[in-house]
Amino acid sequence: MSSIFLNLLCFDVPFLGNVAQSEHGPSLWVWLLLIAAGIVATITDLRTMHIRNWLTLPLLVAGLTYSGIVAGMPGVVDSLKGVGVAGGVFLAAYAFARGGAGDAKLMMSFGSWLGLQCSAVLLLSVAIVGFFAAMGLVVKRCGITQIPNAIFHQIMMTRMGFLRFLNGLKLNQDENIIYQAEPQPRPKLWFPYAPSILLGTIGAWWYWEQFGGVL
């Protein structure tokens, strides 16, 4: 009975080590689950500037747990690799370059369901969508002539984050940064990243179905 149940969940196809990975990649229901989570994250991010832990943490735990149930230790290892690939850059950005913690946790939770190969596609897709979204906001707020300045600013922010990383300095060690529990007014240059993660996930799904992995 248990084998029948697992086959129904995974469309009766062999696994490659991850939670719902068949020989063709993640199953349809996995993509739909992540897109639904991305929609919820987008709504909360736009409304409150936060991606909630009640969304990201259970999703992360569920991905790792289901991987272990279905594929054993190889599935858990592949899911952890996905967590690292999908969320590693965002986690570093949070720690060293003023990135969003919610963005990092959302990407990590997605990686737990997708595994190493597909998480690489997701990361690239989200990065591309995020870049063009950021440039679009720059044009809307400041004009098209400010695009070179915005790109230069991002390069310098990346450099600052890298130097902080080399020196072991975390942003939350900066005495000028004060974290408050109460909702704060939206910063003038605030950029919500959850919509880019949502669109990037849809793009990653399309790319994976058309071309497969990049590793």
* Least confident residue range of 8-17, 85-94, 145-154, 196-205: 8-17
| Calpha distance 132→3 (Å, rounded) | 45
| Calpha distance 118→18 (Å, rounded) | 10
pLDDT of residue 205: 94
Quick check: helix, strand or coil at residue 21?
strand
Q: Give the residue, 24 or 100, on which the prediction is more confident.
A: 100
Summarised one tens digit per residue, pLDDT across range 170-208 is: 544 443 443 444 445 544 555 688 999 999 999 999 999
Q: Tell which residue, 111, 121, 106, 82, has the closest CA to residue 193.
A: 106
List Cα–Cα distances, 40 to 50, 106, 108, 123, in angstroms.
11, 11, 16, 19
List Cα–Cα distances, 133 to 18, 105, 119, in angstroms.
31, 20, 21
- DSSP state at residue 11: T
Instruction: Answer whether residue 125 shows pLDDT above 80.
Output: yes
pTM of the predicted model, to two decimals?
Answer: 0.74
| Calpha distance 120→111 (Å, rounded) | 9
Q: What percent of the chain has pLDDT over 90?
A: 43
Summarised one tens digit per residue, pLDDT across range 58-110 is: 999 999 999 999 889 999 999 999 999 999 988 887 877 667 789 999 999 99
pLDDT of residue 112: 96
| Calpha distance 88→43 (Å, rounded) | 24
Q: Give the residue, 5 or 214, on which the prediction is more confident.
A: 214
pLDDT of residue 100: 79
pLDDT band at residue 11 under the 50/70/90 scheme: very low
Output the average pLDDT for the chain.
75
Q: Give the residue, 167 or 2, on which the prediction is more confident.
A: 167
Residue ranges of the domains in the chain?
2-211
pLDDT of residue 82: 95
The total of other beta-carbon atoms located within 10 Å of residue 189's CB is 12
